[in-house]
Each structure stands twice: as structure tokens, then as C-alpha cells.
Structure 1
Amino acid sequence: MKLAQNAVLVLIDFQKGFSEPVWGARNNPDAEGNAARLLAGWRDAGGLVSHVRHESLQAASPLAGAGADWIAELAPRKGEAVFEKHVNSAFIGTGLQDWLHRHDTAALVVAGLTTPHCVSTTCRMAANLGFEVTLAHDACAAFDSTADTSWCPDAPRLSPQQVHDMAVSHLHGEFVTARSTSAIICDV
């Protein structure tokens, strides 16, 4: 499978605040490393990159203040697009969609945190807006705190891996094509 020539890499919420213990246990400790490999390959190929970060409006949030800062290996370089959001979707209130249209983009490659929230919401909305979306599933991660089973006392607690796998499974085939970082890099 070859990526569309004008595909854009969209990196979502690779921020320092996601290292805070409040999030709980996490799957895929290699997500940032895989995203960094993907970013390096994308930059080497001269591809367009956009960085999206969550700027929480709640002062106590791990994604406010210094927690909103990029992690070093995935920080934007001069000239790369940066969008700040206050909700889960990278398209709401950011200008991302207009920027993609100005660059005649039809396809996205997405990686980020967290799989069931901002990544999923952005992928679903991108597909609904008509973009072809590839999800770098191993350049994403989920936390156990993102699966609230309090609504049903009999529901089992989901592991971070189960949360991630479920989110990717719901996306693949309908909203995205889920692929590994290595497979995507081969097509860049």
C-alpha cells in the first residue's frame, strides 16, 4: 500500500503532561519512540508535518502550563504547522482543516495520545470530512484511567492494552487503515 503523495503527518498531544501518574498504567511504552521514527522518516522525505497539542483550560490539568509543553523528541521544528486545541478533536477551533485544504491534502497519517480520546476523535472526524486516514497504531498509547467502567458495577476493569486495542479495532476499516510505523515508513 503506497501512501498518497500529498499525505500529511499529524502528531497529536505528545506532551510532557502525559508522563504524570494521574493517568495510571499505560500500554505501549514505545509509542513516542515509534512516533519519533515516523517523524524522522517524514522529515527526511520532505513531507508536511502538523503538530497538535491540548491546551487545557483547567489550571489543575496535567495538560496545562508546563504539562502542555512538547516532549523533546517530538517537538515542532521551525516551519512546521502547530495547532492548539481545547477539546478532543484536532479539527475543532484549530484551523487544521483549512491548513490541510490550503496544502491540497487528501490523506493523513496520524499518531498520538491517547488512542481512545484525541486520536480516535480526530481520526473519526478526519474520515467524516473526507480525508483518507492511516493510523500508526504502534505510535499511539492508552491509559487505564481512560476506561471508566463505573457505569456498570459488573463490567470488568480494562487494561490499557485492551483500551488501545478496542479503540484501534473500532477505527480500522471504517475510519482508518491501521498500520505499523515500520510499514508506513516503507511507503514514505
Structure 2
Amino acid sequence: MSGSALIVIDVQQSFLHRSYWDDTRLPPFRHALLALIAGARARGVPVLYVLHEDGDGPFAAASGHVQPMAWLPPAPDATFTKHVHNAFTDTGLQAWLAARGVDRLIISGIRTEQCCETTTRVGSDLGFTVDFVTEATLTFDMTHPHSGRVYSADDICQRTELVLAGRFAHIHTVASVLARLDADAANQAIL
């Protein structure tokens, strides 16, 4: 199925060296992402890794941390390096997708409300249909800089789903996006 591609955004060792890193939510995220990657590969869907590199500490190339987390499966179909919040700007991703007839993106990775959401919005604006798999994204609690209110990772994920759904993306679970891939394959077989 060449119409879809799984984009795994910023699941990299850099995050382990940030003060806000909290691995409380890591086990369910890892489980969901590994199931999504395995499901995509079993269905012939390309798996693409996107890494973030900038001059900021553990995200700097010289840090040695701009590499996939050790538990990610090796050998993605392609790896792209970004320097901004979305996976398209100056990475070659859009050309790679176009050359392979990909018109639908499955979004996963770290952080839900930053690079995953921004890539979703840009991808939608570029004409891609986007499936946002929230359970295969990870984020962290955040404190509002002015009010001091703490927003939990769950709050942030729900807000991201709210602003993306029906505008920029279809919100999915791992099971529902894999079922959608299967339905697409069955429909193509009929044609």
C-alpha cells in the first residue's frame, strides 16, 4: 500500500537529557508505537523516522544524542533531519513522499502538541490526509508561565485532539488506524 506512510517524529535520545523528561508515560507510549510500527511494516506501509537537530544542548549534533531511542526498530525506510517544529521544512520529506505516491500520513512521536501537531497541520495544509495516532505520541506535563496552572500530559493530548479533529486530521488509536489500512487494502483489491 503505497498511499500511506508512518511518520515517527523525534523519538530520539535527546529527550532523555531534558529536565522535563518523565518516563512515567513511556511504557504505554512505547507499546503503542512498537505495535504501530509492526502493523505498518506488516501492511507494507513505509516507516519514516524524523529526528530534530538544533544548537540546543542534547539536540545539537555534537551531543551524540540525535539518534533514535535504543528500543526503536532499526532500518526505517528513510530518516530525515529537521531543524524546526515541522517535519517538512528543508528536510526532503515532501519530495520523498511525492516520489512514492504517498498522500496519507500517519503521525506518531514526541511531543504531541509540538512537533507532532505542527507536522500534522503543515501536512494537512500541503494536501495530505492525516491520521493522528494520539496513543502513539508522548508529551509531558507543562506549567503555564503566567498563571502557574499545571496542564497534565492528558490535558495536552485532549487539547491537541480537539484542535486537530475534523480540521487537520482524523484522530485514531493504533487499532483503528491499522483497521483503516486493512479496509483501504480490501477496497483496492476490489478495484
TM range, normalised to the smaller chain?
Answer: 0.7 to 0.9
State the 4+ residue runs in structure 1 displaced beyond 6 angstroms. Answer: none
Kept after mapping to 2: 8 A contact 1:27/1:160: no
Kept after mapping to 2: 8 A contact 1:18/1:63: no
More helix by share: 2
Give the share of equivalent positions with the same residue, in percent. Answer: 27
How far apart, CA to CA, are the structure 2 residues paired with 1:63 and 1:180?
32
Q: Which segments of 5 or more consecutive residues in structure 1 lack a partner in the other structure?
A: none
Give the letter aligned to residue 17 of structure 1. Answer: S
1:42 equivalenced with 2:35 (yes/no): no
How far apart, CA to CA, are the structure 2 residues paired with 1:14 and 1:89?
14
**Equivalent residue for 2:130, pick from 124, 130, 133:** 133
How far did 1:148 drift?
A: 4.8
Residue 31 of structure 1 corresponds to 29
Change (3 A) 1:101 1:21: closer
Q: TM-score, normalised by structure 1?
A: 0.86
**Between 46-55 and 12-21, the greater mean CA deviation after superposition:** 12-21
Residue 107 of structure 1 corresponds to 104
**Equivalent residue for 1:169, pick from 151, 156, 162:** 162
Change (3 A) 1:63 1:18: farther
* RMSD across aligned positions (CA): 2.1
Give the letter aligned to residue 171 of structure 1. Answer: L
Give the letter aligned to residue 135 of structure 1. Answer: F
Change (3 A) 1:20 1:165: farther
Change (3 A) 1:111 1:63: farther
Q: Deviations over 1:148-180 (max 9, x none)?
A: 511x33x52211211122122211111011110
How far apart, CA to CA, are the structure 1 residues paired with 2:65 and 2:19?
12
Q: TM-score, normalised by structure 2?
A: 0.84
How far apart, CA to CA, are the structure 2 residues paired with 1:131 and 1:27?
33
Change (3 A) 1:63 1:19: farther
Change (3 A) 1:103 1:15: same
How far apart, CA to CA, are the structure 1 residues paired with 2:59 and 2:96?
28
Residue 149 of structure 1 corresponds to 144
Aligned residues: 179
How far did 1:68 drift?
A: 1.4
Kept after mapping to 2: 8 A contact 1:135/1:178: yes
Change (3 A) 1:108 1:27: farther
